[in-house]
Structure 1
Amino acid sequence: MSLRVPARHAGLLFAFLMSLLMAGLMSGIITAVNRGVDAGFPAAWLHSFLVAWPIAFPLILVLAPRVRRFVDRVCAPG
């Protein structure tokens, strides 16, 4: 079985996956730095992630196309 998403949804899928990864990793790292890794770490990480992800997802939807255009302008072809 192969999961295939229509190409018209590529931007949305990119934003969804990138926001999950970045919010998960960054909230975990920042939580570990601020409170250490102890028995309460998973709950604190989950709380931080649940705050961060709903912010990260729409931000990536809005900012990714702008960042791509900027990169296209400043990079030499080839």
Structure 2
Amino acid sequence: MIDVKYTRIVFSFFMALLMSGIMSLVITVFNIGWVDNIVSIWLQAWLFAFSVALPTILIISPLVHRLVAIVVKPTP
């Protein structure tokens, strides 16, 4: 198992993996439809999307955590 100190990185990895996969599939199908080679086109798009998503999540997640802390009311 992975040590708990790497939680942020592991979370970011899985979030980037799943979100980039879902979004690249939706956008690919929206743009070109269900063509014969949709899987290979989608996987190529997913690889590119993931390579952008992971560093983006790692960079912006501290900002997002601060924004959430601002807009969420703490429990009494």
Residue 64 of structure 1 corresponds to 61
Residue 38 of structure 1 corresponds to 35
Residue segments in structure 2 that go unaligned for 5+ positions in a row: none
Percent of paired sites with the same residue:
36
For 2:72, the aligned partner's letter is: C
Q: Distance in 2 between matches of 1:74 and 1:27?
A: 30
Deviation at 1:66, TM superposition (A): 1.0
Residue 2 of structure 2 corresponds to 5
Q: Distance in 2 between matches of 1:76 and 1:51?
A: 37
Q: Distance in 1 between matches of 2:70 and 2:61?
A: 14
Q: Distance in 1 between matches of 2:4 and 2:63?
A: 20
For 1:15, the aligned partner's letter is: S
Number of aligned residue pairs: 75
